Chain A
């Protein structure tokens, strides 16, 4: 057993002497969390919507007032008045404005007559996020337009009251679980895979193989050391990431304990995967090339950045096998919903099974000779 500890001690001493490795493996996920979290998480603002009022009636003025109020409130867009639709459409094509609202000549009359009054919204749909935002804003605006003053005692139409069971979750918090898993994965790649193959190429493993260290001690030593390094990275991201993303009550001891368990199980699952991929590799270029491919294949299908419900079937199939999926789900449950182990037991079970299969396969492939 002392030989096993000697391998772990050697790896951890080297790890401690390499602050660059630690910084690098934390830097990527933190940058990703900040950039992606704030790039995708905010509401679209300061768009320009042209208004062509061909009606000039009382109801048209109400619509224009409501549209103008958006500028002062949500600031989704500001309005620009156009005398004719031709000019407005030219500006729309040239990108000066993002949509044109046309109020037709008989709009006010139809409103009074309750004769299907219509407005036309012509939008630049090359940017689906922008066009969806403008449509949503106008739908909300028209809801306000329809509310009679004063409101009737008995509502004529069924309406939906939305109740959110958790506090508002900014996108940066939604992204945090993926960033924690990414930090574990980055350390597994740099401190695990790349380190392992580099040592092999430089003959350091030859040094191990001529000592009386057993096959079990070698495998257990490499993987325990790799897991410890990855847990350090994951734990650091749990703390730093929670502070950056503003997770409420980030140092709840019970939640930290549960997070620690998920980080540990994730680290072991990913180091098992890495050991399986690298056990017969001797070319140092392989883990480096694999880093980019694996981080894309594992990170994006996991639901870390976008709900898996929006994926096509083939991508869902990858997501089902992807260990990131279960780690992200477990971490999200703990961080955003503060659930207990019951809610994440399925995730933990999959990660443990995944580790067992990968580690068994890697052990069978591991050679005690060169």
Chain B
């Protein structure tokens, strides 16, 4: 049985369509990622699946329970780590977990042992009695992860679990999630706009843009689906105006884009195309300033699916990024 089944979910906020007919299944024990920029509809979708928002139309089941007609059973089966850090700053790490264990109805007999094990798993045992306000951002995120697991859920939802964390804390959170996942038959659905996060953590990824599913597969297959196995980023001293066309005409080149003087060339043969570029530059007496060859990334996949670079989308100001609005992602 699939842990999550989503069928044609639509969500309108007035005239605005946040989610537009999304369908997918997540198998039990899978880590599934929703990848997309801010405002793509990821957080709205996660809020629908965790019963926080009713869908306008469509249906979904979590652990076999319908999100609308069996919402109480859904809530009893899931753990949720919201995007905003919502631990009580005035309470200690232990108290935060204790209150949520009680809210989930964890029996008194197993409560203490469970909280101890979770604090050990997120490496916060020695901080158990400290108020959360004294912890760093990365540690607070680990408190939230432990809190999300205190109900011993069958399905865990994480909404942008490493947003706002420094690179070291991000890697620590990834390792923690992988460790927890390896110990239990947990199904995980996470949203992210970090390519490396989705690539490293997820068994399968759904690329979401403007409330629609653009692609869905494993990271390897998604990358393989994009024409060109390599991307060559090269910059030249004084390229002639028709230089992009020259590069596009080289053998085994599928696509050429340029931005800020950097040409991004997709090729089915990285080393061969690199040689050809050097030869063409030499022939035209154009100096090469820099050259880098890289494998296809999920960013390339995103660009292939949406026509835009995800990293550019993330630079745009998020008009509805406000703590007082619930409609996000």
Interface residues in chain A, defined as those with a beta carbon under 8 Å from any beta carbon in chain B:
2-3, 5-7, 9-10, 13-14, 17-18, 201-204, 206-214, 282-284, 369-370
Taking a contact as CB atoms under 8 Å apart, the answer to whether A202 and B102 are in contact is: no
Cα distance A202–B83 when bound, in Å? 11
Measured between beta carbons, the chain A residues less than 8 angstroms from B99 are: 6, 9-10, 13
Can you report 24 residue pairs joining A to B where beta carbons are below 8 Å apart?
A: A2-B102, A3-B102, A3-B105, A9-B102, A10-B88, A14-B88, A17-B131, A202-B323, A203-B82, A204-B86, A206-B52, A206-B82, A206-B84, A208-B103, A210-B82, A211-B75, A211-B103, A212-B72, A212-B75, A212-B105, A214-B72, A282-B324, A369-B53, A370-B52
Taking a contact as CB atoms under 8 Å apart, the answer to whether A210 and B105 are in contact is: no
Mark contacts of B98-116 with chain A using CB atoms, 8 A cut-off: 1 yes-contact digit, 0 otherwise.
Answer: 0110111100000000000
Measured between beta carbons, the chain B residues less than 8 angstroms from A202 are: 84, 86, 323
**Given A6-B103, A282-B324, are A209 and B52 also a contact pair (CB < 8 Å)?**
yes
In the A-B complex, the 7 residue pairs with the smallest Cβ-Cβ separation, listed nearest first, are: A6-B102, A203-B84, A210-B80, A17-B90, A203-B86, A211-B103, A370-B326
Tell me if B51 is interfacial: C-beta within 8 Å of chain A. Answer: yes
Q: Could you say which of A2, A7, A201, A211 has the most chain B C-beta atoms within 10 Å of its C-beta?
A: A211
Cα distance A212–B74 when bound, in Å? 8
Taking a contact as CB atoms under 8 Å apart, the answer to whether B105 and A207 are in contact is: no
Tell me, rounded to whole Å, the shortest Cβ–Cβ distance linking B259 to chain A.
37
Taking a contact as CB atoms under 8 Å apart, the answer to whether A201 and B323 are in contact is: yes
Measured between beta carbons, the chain A residues less than 8 angstroms from B294 are: none
**Given A3-B105, A211-B151, are A206 and B75 also a contact pair (CB < 8 Å)?**
no
**Given A211-B75, A369-B54, are A17 and B91 also a contact pair (CB < 8 Å)?**
yes
Cα distance A369–B131 when bound, in Å? 29
Taking a contact as CB atoms under 8 Å apart, the answer to whether B91 and A210 are in contact is: no
Tell me, rounded to whole Å, the shortest Cβ–Cβ distance linking A258 to chain B.
35
Q: Could you say which of B72, B103, B324 has the most chain A C-beta atoms within 10 Å of its C-beta?
A: B103
Measured between beta carbons, the chain A residues less than 8 angstroms from B326 are: 370
Measured between beta carbons, the chain B residues less than 8 angstroms from A370 are: 47, 52-53, 326
Measured between beta carbons, the chain A residues less than 8 angstroms from B103 are: 3, 6-7, 208, 211-213
Tell me, rounded to whole Å, the shortest Cβ–Cβ distance linking B81 to chain A.
10
Additional A-B contact list (20), CB under 8 Å, known A14-B90, A210-B51, A369-B53: A2-B105, A10-B88, A10-B99, A14-B88, A17-B90, A203-B84, A204-B86, A204-B88, A206-B82, A207-B80, A207-B100, A208-B103, A210-B50, A211-B103, A212-B72, A212-B103, A212-B104, A214-B72, A369-B51, A370-B326
Number of interface residues of B (CB under 8 A): 30
Taking a contact as CB atoms under 8 Å apart, the answer to whether A206 and B105 are in contact is: no
Chain A residue nearest to B103 in the complex (CB): A211
Measured between beta carbons, the chain A residues less than 8 angstroms from B95 are: 13
Measured between beta carbons, the chain A residues less than 8 angstroms from B324 are: 201, 282-284
Tell me if B208 is interfacial: C-beta within 8 Å of chain A. Answer: no
Q: Which of B104-143 contact A (CB under 8 A)?
A: 104-105, 131
Taking a contact as CB atoms under 8 Å apart, the answer to whether A210 and B102 are in contact is: no
Measured between beta carbons, the chain A residues less than 8 angstroms from B269 are: none
Measured between beta carbons, the chain B residues less than 8 angstroms from A208 are: 103
Tell me, rounded to whole Å, the shortest Cβ–Cβ distance linking B27 to chain A.
23
Measured between beta carbons, the chain B residues less than 8 angstroms from A213 are: 103
Chain B residue nearest to A15 in the complex (CB): B90
Q: Which of B69-83 contact A (CB under 8 A)?
A: 72, 75-76, 78, 80, 82
Measured between beta carbons, the chain B residues less than 8 angstroms from A17 are: 90-91, 131
Measured between beta carbons, the chain A residues less than 8 angstroms from B51 are: 209-210, 369
Tell me, rounded to whole Å, the shortest Cβ–Cβ distance linking B170 to chain A.
21
Measured between beta carbons, the chain B residues less than 8 angstroms from A201 are: 323-324
Cα distance A211–B82 when bound, in Å? 12
Tell me, rounded to whole Å, the shortest Cβ–Cβ distance linking B62 to chain A.
11
Taking a contact as CB atoms under 8 Å apart, the answer to whether A206 and B90 are in contact is: no
Tell me, rounded to whole Å, the shortest Cβ–Cβ distance linking B284 to chain A.
57
Tell me, rounded to whole Å, the shortest Cβ–Cβ distance linking B192 to chain A.
18
Tell me, rounded to whole Å, the shortest Cβ–Cβ distance linking B168 to chain A.
25
Q: Could you say which of B72, B84, B99 has the most chain A C-beta atoms within 10 Å of its C-beta?
A: B99
Cα distance A166–B50 when bound, in Å? 64
Measured between beta carbons, the chain A residues less than 8 angstroms from B102 are: 2-3, 5-6, 9
**Given A3-B102, A6-B103, are A210 and B53 also a contact pair (CB < 8 Å)?**
no
Measured between beta carbons, the chain B residues less than 8 angstroms from A214 are: 72
Chain B residue nearest to A284 in the complex (CB): B324
Measured between beta carbons, the chain A residues less than 8 angstroms from B147 are: 207
Cα distance A211–B151 when bound, in Å? 9
Measured between beta carbons, the chain A residues less than 8 angstroms from B54 are: 369
Measured between beta carbons, the chain B residues less than 8 angstroms from A2 are: 102, 105
Measured between beta carbons, the chain A residues less than 8 angstroms from B105 are: 2-3, 212
Measured between beta carbons, the chain A residues less than 8 angstroms from B90 are: 13-14, 17-18
Tell me, rounded to whole Å, the shortest Cβ–Cβ distance linking A5 to chain B.
7
Chain B residue nearest to A2 in the complex (CB): B102
Cα distance A212–B77 when bound, in Å? 9
Tell me, rounded to whole Å, the shortest Cβ–Cβ distance linking A20 to chain B.
11
Cα distance A7–B72 when bound, in Å? 18
Tell me, rounded to whole Å, the shortest Cβ–Cβ distance linking A347 to chain B.
36
Tell me, rounded to whole Å, the shortest Cβ–Cβ distance linking B188 to chain A.
15
Measured between beta carbons, the chain A residues less than 8 angstroms from B91 are: 10, 13-14, 17
Measured between beta carbons, the chain A residues less than 8 angstroms from B72 are: 212, 214
Cα distance A214–B99 when bound, in Å? 15
Measured between beta carbons, the chain B residues less than 8 angstroms from A206 are: 52, 82, 84, 86
Measured between beta carbons, the chain B residues less than 8 angstroms from A6 are: 99, 102-103
Chain A residue nearest to B77 in the complex (CB): A212
Cα distance A267–B147 when bound, in Å? 33
Q: Could you say which of A5, A203, A282 has the most chain B C-beta atoms within 10 Å of its C-beta?
A: A203
Cα distance A323–B47 when bound, in Å? 40
Chain B residue nearest to A211 in the complex (CB): B103
Cα distance A68–B145 when bound, in Å? 83
Chain B residue nearest to A200 in the complex (CB): B324
Q: Which of B27-59 contact A (CB under 8 A)?
A: 47, 50-54
